[in-house]
Amino acid sequence: MRNDEKMMGSALRIILFVFLFLALHLPMSFSDPASETEKLLNMEEKNFFILTSTGDSLMSEMDKTLLRCPEGKPLSLQDEESVMGWYFSFRNLRKAYFLTANKCQQIMKDTSLPKEIRNRALKISFGNLIEWYKMAAYFYSAPTKNSVFHKKFNEAMPDFNVPENEATTIEKIMADGKMKDRIYSAHAQLDKALDLNCDFDKKLNSQIDLDFEFINKKAPYLLTAKLEKWKDTAEEKLFGVFYPLNVAVSTWIGDTKYLPKEHTITYDRIQEMKSHLKPGDILFERENWFMSNIFLPGFWTHSIIYVGTAQDLEKMGLTENPWVAMHIKDFSQPDRHGHERRALEAVSEGVIMSSLEDACDADYIAALRPRLSDEQIKDAIIKAFAYVGRPYDFMFDFQTDDKLVCSELVYRSFRDKLSLNLIRKAGRWALPSLNILQKWANERNREDRELDFIFFVDSDMKTRKTRFATEQELIKSLTRPGFDVRLAMSK
């Protein structure tokens, strides 16, 4: 069933692509203006019904997706791709309607053409504008009511020329009420100017009537829309005040120690660790004495993806990949201390490329290796590089990827290859670093385990010495407190 829906969605996207290509490239000059224009209008009317059918299929597809993904449920990778694929089709469909309406309006304005042809162009143009508005009405009434979908639709995607908060912009247009008034007024004027009940273009007239019935049901009533617009605007203003404050507080907490002590893992120990690591390994760490340990769940508070050196990436053939190539020049440069970059991590500054010496400046380090093929490891590294430069997500929202936290970088890079299930934490769906380690511990004796133990560097806080510890000791570390009062009180 899911494969059928996916195939149908792909077919719809192909239809829209072909239509947009034709709409943008068909010529507007003709040797015999009247007859050629009539042929063009015949084609545009035919295309109108193809697009209308496509729009109906898109709405049906989204209705099924909403049933499958109720409010509050985290999206799987397949569902997330399905939702965003639907959104791109929705955008392309509305663009196709707009292009056709604009083309027909140009014909309508050509006074050298017979009145009958110009009137027909007017009607086809209006039909496309009605469908354009109808799709916005559906978007307002159905998918945007799911808060997870709404966040995804509002994400900026510069590579696809999608601005931030695009969904909210569509909602504001719908909430204005003026657009609906204009469409009803235009329909009344069109009814006076043309006989919308004549046999000519009867199918088109019938479709326009059906669209108006749909809009009456889906387009927001003005009072409700204004209240919703006020609520959204108030929430935006509140978020605009709260989020920067939250960033400032979270950054201070994350960067502040309650005891000014140096980390126990030394430069020499990190050099030993390098000899055990391979690209695609996942590192977990803990730094004692930081205020953030009071608020983060469990003993293990940070995760990192080891991607190897620039030379390793070149040997794997990854430097030609667009996402890696975009950053390889900076990645090849040493960090501020002259160390080679080998890791990707999300910290308060955002998703950055780090040296192991900088990333592993900590008190405890563990490493796990995903049991994946070389090609799967390459794909995970490419996905991780795609997020470099994105800001840190101080709201810890795993349902969107415009901002990320450390374990979310791991989750989004490996989630289509490993069984990484989100859990409910503090009212949000998330995957703390501790839970990835717990997954390893629960599966470690199974043949179908997905992660292998590489090493665990443990520390003795009294002697300030570190050592390579065993798997059993790593398992025991999972129950260590995140914030130890006795440790905090020690000198």
DSSP secondary structure string for all residues of 438-478: HHHHHHTTSTT-SEEEEEEEEEETTTTEEEEE-HHHHHHHT
Q: 3-class DSSP state for residue 373? A: coil
Q: What is the mean pLDDT of residues 31-59?
A: 82
CA torsion sign for 184, 188, 189, 191 is positive
Copy the structure tokens of residue 195. 């006989």
How far, in Å, CA of 90 to CA of 88, rounded?
5
The DSSP 8-state label assigned to residue 158 in this structure reads G
- Cβ of 238: how many Cβ atoms within 10 Å? 10
- Name residue 286's beta-bridge partners: 364
Whether the pLDDT of residue 370 is over 50: the answer is yes
- Over the chain, what is the mean pLDDT? 78
Label residues 198-216 b or e (16+ Cβ within 10 Å = b).
eeebeebbebbeebbebbe
Copy the structure tokens of residue 416. 């289509």
Q: How far is CA 252 from the centre of its chain?
A: 28
Report the percent of the chain where pLDDT is more than 90.
29
Whether the pLDDT of residue 250 is over 80: the answer is no
pLDDT in tens, 304-330: 999 999 999 999 999 999 999 999 999
Residue 188 is predicted with a pLDDT of: 65
How far is CA 250 from each of CA 5, 76, 363, rounded to the nearest angstrom? 42, 28, 21
Q: Angle formed by the axes of helices 166-176 and 178-193, to 10°?
A: 60
**pLDDT class of 158 with cuts at 50, 70, 90:** low
pLDDT in tens, 330-344: 999 999 889 999 999
Q: How many CA atoms lie within 13 A of 205 on its CB side?
A: 12
- Name residue 429's beta-bridge partners: 424
Residue 206 is predicted with a pLDDT of: 81
Overall pTM > 0.85: no
Most confidently modeled range among 49-63, 183-197, 364-378, 392-406: 364-378
3-state secondary structure 84-120: HHHHHHHHHHHHHHHHHHHHHHHHHCCCCCCHHHHHH
Whether the pLDDT of residue 257 is over 60: the answer is no
Least confident of 95-109, 200-214, 447-461: 200-214
- Cβ of 13: how many Cβ atoms within 10 Å? 18
**pLDDT class of 274 with cuts at 50, 70, 90:** very high
Residues forming CATH 3.90.1720.10 domain(s) in the chain: 267-489
CATH of 267-489, one of 2.60.120.370, 3.40.640.10, 3.90.1720.10, 1.10.1280.10: 3.90.1720.10
pLDDT in tens, 375-397: 999 999 999 999 999 888 866 77
- Cβ of 111: how many Cβ atoms within 10 Å? 7
